[in-house]
């Protein structure tokens, strides 16, 4: 039991639903991938202006987020560092604004595997 008097098993069902609902409502506001050639050109121009990096359309990276895996998951989330993780993949523009985010691929997949 937590201080909220809600049992852990109940919270483990509620939190993912709440997080998914928040993501669904806010992703169209905060994660806007460019859709026109002009929008892409503006991003490339900003990378050139701020970072002297010509013709760049986004900065991409992956990060393993460690967590305690479900009991019956076996090696599904086991990564190359010997931890259990999920992978976060993100693309950002020149002003650090996220254009794309993908979270949840199991940790045994390398960053390169997530890109596909």
For residue 75 the two structure tokens come to: 């090696």
- Specify the pTM: 0.75
Q: What is the CA radius of gyration of the chain?
A: 18
Give domain status of residue 19, yes or no.
no
**Contact (Cβ atoms closer than 8 angstroms) between residue 66 and residue 39:** no
Give domain status of residue 9, yes or no.
no
Residue 1 has pLDDT above 50, yes or no: no
| CB crowding 37-52: b at 16 or more within 10 Å, else e | eeeeeebbebbeeeee
Give domain status of residue 5, yes or no.
no
53-95 per-position pLDDT tens digit: 999 999 999 888 998 888 888 888 888 889 999 898 999 999 9
Q: Number of C-alpha atoms within 13 angstroms, CB side, residue 94?
A: 19
The two counts, helices (H) then strands (E), for the chain are: 3, 3
Give domain status of residue 97, yes or no.
yes
Q: Count the domains in the chain.
A: 1
Give domain status of residue 83, yes or no.
yes
Domain that holds residue 46: 31-115
Give domain status of residue 107, yes or no.
yes
Give domain status of residue 24, yes or no.
no
Give domain status of residue 4, yes or no.
no
């Amino acid at each position: 039991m937590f201080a909220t008097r809600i049992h852990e098993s109940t919270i483990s069902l509620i939190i993912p639903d709440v997080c998914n609902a928040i993501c669904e409502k806010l992703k169209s506001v905060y994660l806007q991938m460019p859709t026109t050639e002009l929008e892409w050109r503006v991003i490339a121009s900003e990378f050139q202006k701020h970072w002297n990096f010509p013709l760049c359309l986004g900065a991409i990276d992956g990060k393993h987020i460690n967590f305690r895996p479900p009991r019956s998951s076996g090696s599904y989330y086991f990564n190359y560092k010997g931890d259990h993780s999920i992978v976060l993949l993100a693309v950002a523009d020149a002003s650090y604004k996220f254009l794309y985010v993908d979270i949840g691929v199991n940790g045994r997949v390398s960053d390169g595997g997530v890109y596909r």
